Structures are given as C-alpha cells and as structure tokens.
Amino acid sequence: MSAFFDSRWVAAPEAVTVLDGDALPQGFRAAGVAAGIKESGLTDVGLLVADSPDTTSAARFTRSGVLAAPVVVCKTRTRLDAIRAVAVNSGNANAATGGRGMDEAARMQGAAAMVCGVPEDRVAVASTGVIGVQLDGRKVTAGLLAASHELRADGHGAFGEAIRTTDKFAKSARLQVALPGGPVTITAQAKGAGMIQPSFATMLCFVQTDAQLDAATADRLLGDGVRRSFDRISVDGQLSTNDTAILQASGASGVAVAAGSPDEAILREALDALLRQLALLIVRDGEGSRRVGRVVVRGDDRDDAERCARAVANSPLVKAALHGGDPNWGRIAQAVGLAMTDRAPVDLDITIEGVPVCARGAAVPFDQAALDAAVAGTEVDYAVDLPTASGTPTVEAEVFFSDLSHEYVTINAEYTT
C-alpha cells in the first residue's frame, strides 16, 4: 500500500489500491498554468473538464456568513448535480470584493464554459488566496484559455499544483477501487494549510471518479464523507470564506453504482478513507505544524461531546502543549471546563496515548518519562470521557487538530489577509 494512507487513524480499505502517476479517471481532462496572479510566477489557474454530458456531481461549501464571490456564483448559477467543468484560481480569494468581484466570478464561469464547450450553468468556479483584493479577470480569462489548450488525461498533478497557496506539499491521490460490478478509479486534489475550522476549512477539494452515479447517490456520498473528514479538522479555529468540495462522476467506466448496493457501500468506504486522509494532510501542513492531535470526547449528550472536542482542538494552550511535546493534561481539563460552564463540576476522565492521567476530575499516577516519549511523535491521541447517566447510550465526537507553533505566527504576521 502506498504511503498515502500513512496515519494510524485512517485504515486503507481492503478494496483500494493506491496508484502512481497523473492519469485521471476515464472521461476527465485537466491542466494547470501560470497566469500571473501569484507574484511567485507559479501555476495559479487550474481547469478540469468531464467530457460526458451525463456527468453527475455534488458539492459542499463554507457556512461562513461572508461568502466569496465564486461560492455565491456556484450556489446561485451552477447546476450542482451536473457539473461538467471546474475553473480554479489561486493567489487571490476574490472574497470581500463587492459587485466587481461578483462580476469577475461570473466572467470566470463564462470563460471556462466557452473554452470547454459546456453550458455556463454546468461550470463551477473556485478561488483561494488573499481576501479583500480585486481579482484581475483578464489574467484569469487568459489563463483559462491557455489551460484549455493544455487539457490532458494525465493532468491530475498539474491541476493539483495550480490550486496551492501556502501549502508546503501537494495533497492528492489516485485510487483504484475493486467493486463487485468492476473496478473504478478515483482521483482527488486538495489544498489547505491555515484558516482551518469546521465548517469546514479554508480548503478546496475536487474529487473525480469514472463510476456511474446518480446525482442523489453522489450527494449522499460526498455529504457523508465531508462530515467525517473536512468537518472534523481545525488548524486555528478560523472559518474561511471560500471552502469548496466537489465530487464529479463521469460514468465512463460503465460500472453503475446503485443506491443501497454493495458497490455503494464499498465506494463509500473508499471515499471516506480518501477524504479523511486528505483532511489529515491539511492539518499536518498546518502552517508551521509539527504534530497532529486527535481528540475523542465520549458522553451521553452529542452536543456536549461536540462542544468539548472542538474546545480542546481549538485551545491555544492545548495546541502549544502539543507543539512542545508536553503531555500537560491540565490544558485538556481547562478546555473542557470552558465548554461545560453550565455543568460544573465535571468529573471527567482523560487519557493521553492510552495512558490514564485523570480520573473523575483528579490526577492519577502515571509514568511521566514514558508518556513524554509517547507524545514526542508526529501524532498524539487524546480521549475525554464525560460523566454519563446510568443506562444511557454513549456517543462520541472526534476532531483532528494541528499544534500552534512560532512559525504559524510568523507566516500569518507576514501574509496579508
């Protein structure tokens, strides 16, 4: 199995084979070009197109109250169940740019439709980068025209490179999934490193498959996958304006995945693992991140568990301790206390890397040297058990989060908006 599934928290499904190379699933072509949006001169416009008019799709977007222009255009002008083409620029978020920004996002959609030969309402647009700076639509249009001449079936890597901003490394994968009805291929390209907080992150993620899905099945698969992946991560507790996740299914493999079938169950498992691993890569990138933490909070009230898990994941004190390799369980306790002010006193249990450090709200003896060594790795596991009423079922909430480093402060002190 490829190193793609390299976290102990994400199991590689039995039916999945990780593939090398840049070939997209059947029926897709993509490209990435430099259009001069980034001062670095690196690629900054990506174009992806599905050749079949029967392509189905699904999409999810940020829940921020401040929506970037491309998100508004997608939500109001795009058939989200039948997206044929995706046009993306990096280096400029086209967010908080007023009416002119809306015009540029609509122009971007129209230009992509023209160069790809598809209807405008079947084009999704996305932008990522600096907020509050007008997007130069001429550069985007020229970039899309240039990208249309570079479209190729092995454009997976080029498209993925074009969507990166502060990412230190590419976040992408190619998988083959053995379904009862036959093999299908999935590719995905994602970006994100900072301003990450559900729901769901300053991230873009595009997934392509040659499986044949109806739109309702595609929507269900993407929605379920996002809830267990991008909606479960935090780098800095900040909510972005541009978050976009899109799944497209070309159907070119001829393998039909019927709702409720064994094929759907296996494809769901593969997509779930793919998105969870990509989400972990975003957290690992984390603008200066050294370590990734996972907190699981168990209790008998889902809202309480969710609130506590996010409080721990977003606590600067917890994140700083994670960065320093310090198993300071008092940081965990204070974060839970902040989330449970109406339930005091909370007799919680805490374990770090499986080692009990707190029971019923009080310290318990443990081997400090051994625990210090256990939290020195790149992944650190935390668990919190809240008091439960007798006989009530237990629920749990899981959040993955990055540490808080000196480099994070440096990056965001020097990065405009």
Q: What is the mean pLDDT of residues 348-367?
A: 96
Cβ(301)–Cβ(395) under 8 Å? yes
367-403 pLDDT tens trace: 999 999 999 999 999 999 999 988 889 999 999 998 8
- Residue 159: its pLDDT value, please? 98
Q: Which pair of tokens denotes residue 384?
A: 């919190």
135-161 pLDDT tens trace: 999 999 999 999 999 999 999 999 999
| Residue 232 DSSP class | G
204-232 pLDDT tens trace: 999 999 999 999 999 999 999 999 999 99
**45-57 residues labelled b (16+ CB within 10 A) or e (exposed):** bbbbbbbbeebbb
Nearest one of 162, 159, 188, 161 to 175, comparing CA atoms: 188
Q: Which pair of tokens denotes residue 377?
A: 């790795």
How far apart, in whole angstroms, are the C-alpha atoms of residue 377 and residue 365?
A: 22
Assign residue 164 a region: left if phi > 0, alpha if psi is -120 to 50, beta otherwise?
beta
| Known active-site residue 202 | yes
Nearest one of 351, 338, 376, 344 to 295, comparing CA atoms: 351
Q: Which pair of tokens denotes residue 319?
A: 């994140």
pLDDT-based confidence at residue 1 (cuts at 50, 70, 90): very low
Rounded to the nearest angstrom, the gap between the alpha carbon of residue 328 and the centroid of all alpha carbons in its chain is 29
Helix (H) or strand (E) holding 177: strand 171-179
- Residue 311: its pLDDT value, please? 94
Query: How does the average pLDDT of the chain come out, rounded?
Result: 92
* Whether pLDDT at 195 is above 70: no
- Residue 2: its pLDDT value, please? 54
288-337 pLDDT tens trace: 678 999 999 999 999 999 999 999 999 999 999 999 999 999 999 999 99
* Whether pLDDT at 417 is above 50: no
Cβ(212)–Cβ(65) under 8 Å? no
73-132 pLDDT tens trace: 999 999 999 999 999 999 999 999 999 999 999 999 999 999 999 999 999 999 998 889
- Residue 293: its pLDDT value, please? 96
pLDDT-based confidence at residue 236 (cuts at 50, 70, 90): low
pLDDT-based confidence at residue 196 (cuts at 50, 70, 90): very low
pLDDT-based confidence at residue 238 (cuts at 50, 70, 90): low
* Whether pLDDT at 237 is above 50: yes
Cβ(403)–Cβ(237) under 8 Å? no
* Whether pLDDT at 30 is above 70: yes
Total residue length of the chain:
417
| CA separation, residue 275 to residues 281, 363, 388 (Å) | 10, 37, 32
Q: Which pair of tokens denotes residue 331?
A: 């940081």
How far apart, in whole angstroms, are the C-alpha atoms of residue 250 and residue 265?
A: 19
In the set 202, 217, 241, 351, the catalytic residue is 202
Q: Which pair of tokens denotes residue 175?
A: 């998988």
For 391, list phi and psi in degrees, rounded to 5: 85, 0
39-48 pLDDT tens trace: 899 999 999 9
- Residue 391: its pLDDT value, please? 80
For 126, list phi and psi in degrees, rounded to 5: -150, 150
What residues have CB less than 8 Å from 90, skipping those under 6 apart? 37, 38, 44, 45, 46, 127, 128, 129, 162, 163, 164, 165, 191
- Residue 71: its pLDDT value, please? 95
